[in-house]
């Protein structure tokens, strides 16, 4: 492979595009440790801007892009490998064909990953766990966002259970406290709805016998600040202090009438929804006392980014776990992956396939290309794509996970080039080319022989691919030659032209 590698950054940043607020955190790496040098937070209320068709209103859309443009000014001198930006619950729901995401990435100046709820939970736990370093107690971590609530059981730096519940401070405020009105019936209804949402997981979570409950996120920190300012709790949040807070909200009757010390004006419109969600979690999981962490998703992103810079990519461990879980033929996958990378090295300049993420896509799709056999050999490429598109894959963004699934889907039979169209023009063409390299590698190892394949050559220019084998090799391997002839027909139907000799 190319020996080009980006310089390791000294300053890194994480951007969290939450349903309620957007956060930017910047840190310097000194002696392998992170030192935060800048934090920016803006209340964007993205979740409040979704209409009935799951499209963002023009007002919220504009507010979000202006915020990202300001973040982009702060990040403009940082290289791509020094920034990680993720979108959570609301961006998981937006339906606009990716238009908002493209504008958002342009405003920020960096790619934005949309992460699944389980992945969000893992990153939240990673951030919180670093703040509790040295404390090895089994812990429950709760993170309330604008549109979702993450529940995690973990010990040390490892998670044992992860769940993302469809409730948050923005969504519950809109649903149960319309126009800011608050009364006892509304509060009770919100808490019951929250308990119903948590009901499917409460038995499993109770079975872990966790010793410490920890809350993170702006909602929980705000609740802590308020109950402590009122003198209702000395440390963290207690069950009794939360009850007193609910009573105060009901007595106020409206969000605008809340006169609670330590409650900010920005937090007031969604405070009742957050209190209801936390109350539901306290009741469902029988929490008496909750410690509050100042670290959360964005810090988890920073530590993950630091790990990747130090060559600890959690995604590699995920791929290894999948190989073991689905009992894949690891030797066959490795042979296909090695040949794929050998072919890529020869065409990465002419096909403009340089870049670590493209290399990882090809290698991992090769290692996992037979994963669908766990369901059925008939159409296993389709089964494999389904598994990879829908599985809980730690470390993977939705975009990367879906692209990986497309490569596995396309590694055999008819080559449907249109499957990649939704990736955007440049990425779609890159992935079609990666798919062709994967298809050729699988073809060359169809016999599953452990013997090393010949040092074949490959040339590629635009849609033309030329394979060259050692003299008389194809004559000695007529089945491979027949496979190549069929592959040439598949590619020709998609507008690519394969020749070999």
Closest alpha carbon to 19 in 123, 166, 128, 204: 166
Give every CB contact of residue 453 below 8 A, 6+ residues apart in sequence.
335, 339, 444, 445
Q: How far is CA 495 from the centre of its chain?
A: 34
Residue 134 pLDDT greater than 70, yes or no? no
Does 322 share its domain with 219?
no
Q: What is the SS3 string spanning 264-281?
A: CCCCHHHHHHHHHHHHHH
Asked if 132 and 293 touch (Cβ cutoff 8 Å), the reply is yes
Q: What is the mean pLDDT of the chain?
A: 93
The pLDDT assigned to 480 comes to 92
- Span 51-99, pLDDT tens digits: 889 999 999 999 999 999 999 999 999 999 899 999 999 999 998 868 9
Does 274 share its domain with 191?
yes
Does 249 share its domain with 373?
no
Percent of the chain with pLDDT over 70: 98
Residue 215 tokens, joined: 């809350």
Tell me the C-alpha distance between 17 and 114, whole Å.
Answer: 9
Tell me the C-alpha distance between 134 and 357, whole Å.
Answer: 34
Closest alpha carbon to 180 in 273, 97, 243: 273
Residue 497 within any structural domain of the chain: no
Does 133 share its domain with 226?
yes
Total-model pTM = 0.85
Does 179 share its domain with 285?
yes
- Span 248-290, pLDDT tens digits: 999 999 999 999 999 999 999 999 999 999 999 999 999 999 9
Does 95 share its domain with 188?
no
Does 257 share its domain with 334?
no
Neighbours of 109 (CB within 10 A): 18
The pLDDT assigned to 6 comes to 55
Does 180 share its domain with 264?
yes
More confident position, 326 or 134: 326
Residue 278 within any structural domain of the chain: yes
Q: What is the CATH number of the domain that holds 141?
A: 3.30.420.150
Tell me the C-alpha distance between 221 and 241, whole Å.
Answer: 14
Neighbours of 166 (CB within 10 A): 12
Does 234 share its domain with 127?
yes
Asked if 126 and 303 touch (Cβ cutoff 8 Å), the reply is yes
- Ordered DSSP codes for 412-453: SSS--GGGGGGG-HHHHHHHHHHHHHHHHHHHHTTT--SSPP
Residue 6 within any structural domain of the chain: no
Closest alpha carbon to 242 in 259, 224, 254: 224
The pLDDT assigned to 424 comes to 85
- The CA dihedral of 96, 101, 106, 110, to the nearest 10 degrees, is -170
Task: Indicate the length of the chain as a whole number.
Answer: 501
- Ordered DSSP codes for 84-121: EEEE-HHHHH--STTHHHHHHHHHHTS-EEE--HHHHH
- Span 337-390, pLDDT tens digits: 999 999 999 999 999 998 889 999 999 999 999 999 999 999 999 999 999 999
Read off φ and ψ for residue 231, nearest 5 degrees: 80, 20
Residue 3 pLDDT greater than 50, yes or no? no
Does 226 share its domain with 258?
yes
Last residue of a domain, one of 86, 115, 144: 115
More confident position, 281 or 34: 281
Helix (H, G, I), strand (E, B) or coil at 376: coil
Does 107 share its domain with 130?
no
More confident position, 133 or 267: 267
- Domain assignment of residue 96, given as a range: 11-115
Closest alpha carbon to 296 in 25, 34, 73: 25
Residue 4 pLDDT greater than 70, yes or no? no
Residue 426 within any structural domain of the chain: yes
CA angle 432, 433, 437 (to 5 degrees): 115
Residue 32 pLDDT greater than 90, yes or no? no
- Ordered DSSP codes for 211-229: SEEEEESHHHHHHHHHHHH
The pLDDT assigned to 483 comes to 94
Residue 328 within any structural domain of the chain: yes
Q: Greatest CA span in the chain, whole angstroms?
A: 89
- The CA dihedral of 396, 402, 404, 406, to the nearest 10 degrees, is 180
Residue 24 tokens, joined: 């930017």
Sheet holding 464-468, edge to edge: 457-461, 464-468, 497-500
Q: What is the mean pLDDT of residues 236-256?
A: 97
Q: What is the CATH number of the domain that holds 61?
A: 3.30.420.40
Long-range Cβ contacts of 61-70 (<8 Å, 24+ apart) = 61/100, 64/17, 64/22, 64/100, 64/104, 65/103, 65/104, 65/107, 66/107, 67/22, 67/42, 68/17, 68/22, 68/104, 68/107, 68/108, 69/107, 69/108, 70/40, 70/42
Q: How far is CA 166 from the centre of its chain?
A: 17
Helix (H), strand (E) at residue 188: helix 184-206
Give every CB contact of residue 185 below 8 A, 6+ residues apart in sequence.
none
Residue 442 tokens, joined: 């699988």
Neighbours of 465 (CB within 10 A): 24
Does 15 share its domain with 137?
no
The pLDDT assigned to 2 comes to 45
Query: In the chain, how many domains are there?
Result: 3
Asked if 241 and 227 touch (Cβ cutoff 8 Å), the reply is yes
The pLDDT assigned to 33 comes to 85
């Amino acid at each position: 492979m190319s020996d080009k590698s980006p310089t390791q950054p000294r300053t890194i940043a994480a951007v969290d595009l939450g349903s309620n607020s957007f956060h930017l955190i910047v840190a310097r790496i000194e002696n392998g440790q992170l030192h935060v040098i800048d934090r920016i937070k803006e209340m964007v209320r993205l979740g409040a801007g979704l209409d009935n068709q799951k499209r963002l209103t023009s007002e919220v859309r504009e507010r979000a892009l202006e915020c990202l443009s300001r973040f982009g000014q702060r990040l403009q001198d940082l290289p791509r490998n020094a920034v990680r930006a993720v979108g959570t619950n609301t961006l998981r729901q937006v339906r606009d064909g990716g238009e908002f995401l493209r504008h958002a990435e342009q405003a920020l100046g960096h790619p934005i990953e949309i992460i699944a709820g389980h992945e969000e939970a893992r990153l939240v736990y990673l951030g919180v766990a670093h703040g509790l370093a040295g404390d090895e107690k089994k812990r429950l971590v709760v993170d309330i966002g604008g549109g979702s609530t993450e529940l995690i059981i973990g010990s040390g730096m490892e998670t044992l259970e992860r769940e993302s519940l469809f409730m948050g401070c923005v969504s519950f405020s809109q649903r149960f406290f319309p126009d800011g009105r608050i009364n006892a019936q509304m509060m009770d209804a919100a808490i019951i709805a929250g308990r119903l949402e948590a009901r499917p997981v409460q038995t499993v979570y109770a079975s872990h016998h966790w010793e410490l409950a920890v809350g993170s996120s702006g909602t929980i920190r705000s609740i802590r600040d308020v109950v402590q300012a009122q003198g209702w709790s000395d440390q963290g949040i207690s069950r009794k202090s939360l009850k007193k807070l609910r009573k105060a909200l009901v007595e106020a009757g409206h969000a605008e009438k809340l006169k609670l010390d330590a409650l900010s004006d920005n937090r007031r419109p969604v405070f009742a929804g957050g209190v209801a969600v936390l109350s539901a979690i306290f009741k469902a999981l029988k929490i008496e006392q909750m410690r509050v962490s100042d670290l959360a998703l964005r810090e988890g992103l920073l530590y993950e980014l630091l790990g990747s810079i130090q060559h600890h990519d959690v995604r590699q461990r995920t791929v290894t776990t999948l190989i073991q879980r689905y009992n894949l033929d690891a030797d066959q996958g490795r042979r296909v992956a090695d040949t794929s990378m050998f072919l890529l090295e020869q065409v990465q300049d002419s096909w403009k396939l340089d870049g670590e993420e493209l290399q990882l896509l090809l290698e991992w799709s090769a290692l996992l290309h037979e994963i669908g056999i766990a369901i059925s050999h008939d159409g296993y490429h389709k089964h494999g794509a389904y598994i990879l598109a829908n599985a809980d894959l730690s470390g993977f963004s939705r975009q990367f996970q879906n692209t990986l699934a497309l490569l596995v889907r396309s590694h055999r039979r008819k080559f449907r080039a249109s499957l990649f169209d939704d990736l955007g023009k440049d990425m779609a063409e890159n992935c079609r080319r990666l798919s062709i390299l994967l298809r050729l590698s699988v073809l060359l190892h169809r016999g599953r022989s452990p013997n090393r394949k010949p040092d074949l050559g490959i040339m590629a220019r635009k849609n033309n691919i030329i394979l060259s084998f050692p003299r008389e090799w194809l004559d000695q391997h007529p089945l491979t030659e027949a496979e190549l002839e069929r592959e040439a027909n598949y590619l020709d139907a998609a507008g690519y032209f394969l020749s070999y000799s």
